Amino acid sequence: MLLYTYDDCAILSPISTDPPSQLFERHEHVIKPIRLDPSTGSQKKPIPTNKFYENLMLDNGQDPIWSLPYGLRWEQGQNDDFCGFSVSHVDDDKKVFGPDPTQNPVRFYYSLYVPNIVFSAKELGSNHELKLSDMSEFSLTINLFPHGYTGSYISFPISRGMSFITAEYKDLTPFFYSESEFIKIESSRKIVNGYTKWKILLKDDSVWLLYAKGKLTLKIKSLHQLEATSGQYSGIIQVTKVPAGNREAEVVFDNHAGTYPIGAELQASADGSYAFNWKVGGDKSKSLLIYSLPHHRESFANALLQTTIELSTPTKGKAIAYIGNTWLFIEPNLPTDIEFLPKNFHSRLSSIDKRTQILEQAKKDLELDFNKEALTDSTYFSGKRLSKFALLCLVLNEGLDEPNLSAICVNKLKKTMNTYTQNRQQAKLAYDTTWKGIVCINGFMKDADADFGNTWYNDHHYHYGYLIYAAAILRHLDEEWGKRNENWVYDLIRDVANPSAEDSHFPVFRTFDWFNGHSWAKGIFSSMDGKDEESTSEDVNFYYATKLWSIASNRPSLTKLMDLILAILSRSLRNYFLIENDNKNHPKRFIKNKVTGILFENKIDYITYFCSDIECIHGIQMLPITPITPYTRNKNFVTQEWKQKLGPIINSVNNTWKSILYANYATIDPEAAYQFFLNNRDTPLDDGLSRTWALFWSSIAGCDDSLLDDLV
């Protein structure tokens, strides 16, 4: 399981352990987690909703999961054939590109799931059961129970980055299937550390190693079947793929056979360091062999032994195996100086003309009907508009030094926000007692897609990030309002980013994935390509908004945690989502897209869920434009994206996305962006962007460039 260690600043301490506010009605969810092992107490704890293994507890459980670099899938089989649990790995040269694979860039690529090896048993029929237990951030245990064989099972300890797929057999006769076809199996005469080794050649030319401790003999029964001829077996069997052409890999695998990770302890410190302390299963005398991702390797801070073992991942570049039980990381460029407004913005806002123009626009925006604009039937769209008005108040108060106008703005905004903090809005929120989270009640009364699937735990970091951002600015400008409403805000924060298992009312880190370095937006929807993330900028916005709330609330430990997560996010976004010309983690024929569109665990598709236009695909990776934007979207990337993708189409864009593209453009050409917003008043604005903020941001963009020069 994943454990959490508090450092001296306690940045992983609970935000609160109190029950959620009674403002939120209690509801049981219409969707229940299934296949949880009741004997382990898994159903009594908060159940994760956005983790890599979610597919197994939803619907028929047949969609794959990705531990990386491997894919895994439950095979229920038909007519007692092809039953068990499979492992799949696809090399880069076998990935599928489309829709026209000859294009550069292609629109999408993915790995076709092929069950290379299926762990099974002669006693395992299609009526067997699968049970899940020990679910945590990095790991879980999967158990297969054959019908009618009490006490017999196959147990799989599944962990992120595992180099061996490990199965513990208890009183069953091992049997293996392969869709790829068994061509040859060689038994090694050498017993490796008490283990017998077999080398398996499949028809797709891949080579796999199988290790077993104890009496076990194997023979090929048919092209798709490999059986044990030594009877029932109790013990460990491990399988791993040998990278093509790597002669050294087999020796490394031999030396580490019998050991495997069974979870990790996460440590985190206020100085930007954090660690995964892997827990060792099996032979504890050996060090673990675990696959790393590219962003891990950039920030490793301890002396791990790198091997030559390298396998491709579906969407995260190359996984390289390292030897060591502790991974220590350091993020040296924490965004500690990025708060409500850039530190040196006054040096840019020196033009009297610009100040006058911004003030005139602010007065117009102040006349808008906040209630009419912001109180919609959508948590997401209401949040965007509330944060827009909060930024208007902030500009009036601190940007333009207009306290009287700011007071009017704050009072108007408080009245509108109070509708939410009192839970009187159209899309009311409720506390789900099944999965333990704050959800939109509309989904219970309408359908799963209500409010973008919020009730099914889609996009919570997107939706609540905007509400928290508005609340943070309000508390910054009106401390008493913030104190009166802090429990409401903390409940939203805990729903998404509860940092401690001591808080039993929410899962720990619902959306953020510490191994992948970013969040997943998909909730309790089964998906053949796994979890996905579309809007990286709204991912960032949640943690930035929570940081601002923690500053306004004087919660330094929470501030430090958000700084760390933002730094990890910035690194992972640069590696996987925001694609510079020299990116090594995506195929060359995809790089010209510049952004991923929707990144799944197994697929990347240059599109959005709502639109296929270029401005939408790129704009959703930008909004909202705030002081944290240049930290995650550096000048080099923005320049390349503009020259290669956005500049050529900008004059043909005549919708609200044009305002987002130009607000982003302020990172590299603030004057051009300012003139656009000043002189093109007929161009519609995004509903989360006011012209006041667009002008103000364009006038000060780049004022803290010195802080961002080293963010690589």
Residues carrying an active site annotation: 459, 534, 538
Angle (CA) 8 9 14, round 5°: 110
Contact, 381 vs 467, CB < 8 A?
Answer: no
Contact, 612 vs 108, CB < 8 A?
Answer: no
Two tokens, residue 265: 């302890």
Q: At 489, which helix (H) or strand (E)?
A: helix 486-497
Angle (CA) 608 613 615, round 5°: 95
Question: Which residue is it, tokens 């989904």?
Answer: 443
User: Rounded to whole angstroms, how far apart are CA atoms 642 and 657?
Assistant: 14
In total, the chain counts a number of residues equal to 712
Sheet-wide strand order for 96-98: 96-98, 108-110, 603-605, 598-600, 532-533
The terminus-to-terminus CA distance of the chain in angstroms comes to 33
Three-state DSSP class for residue 12: coil
CA dihedral for 112, 114, 119, 120, sign (positive or negative): positive
Contact, 666 vs 697, CB < 8 A?
Answer: yes
Percentages of the chain per state (helix, strand, coil), in multiples of 5:
35, 25, 40
Contact, 574 vs 25, CB < 8 A?
Answer: no
User: Rounded to whole angstroms, how far apart are CA atoms 114 and 247?
Assistant: 25
Four-point Cα dihedral 582, 588, 589, 591, nearest 10: -20
How many beta carbons lie within 10 A of that of residue 534, not counting itself? 24
Burial (CB count <10 Å: 0-12, 13-18, 19+), residue 195: buried
Q: At 550, which helix (H) or strand (E)?
A: helix 536-552
User: Rounded to whole angstroms, how far apart are CA atoms 73 and 60?
Assistant: 12
Two tokens, residue 271: 């100085």
Contact, 354 vs 699, CB < 8 A?
Answer: yes
User: Rounded to whole angstroms, how far apart are CA atoms 237 and 612?
Assistant: 46
User: Rounded to whole angstroms, how far apart are CA atoms 643 and 342?
Assistant: 26
Two tokens, residue 533: 């993330």
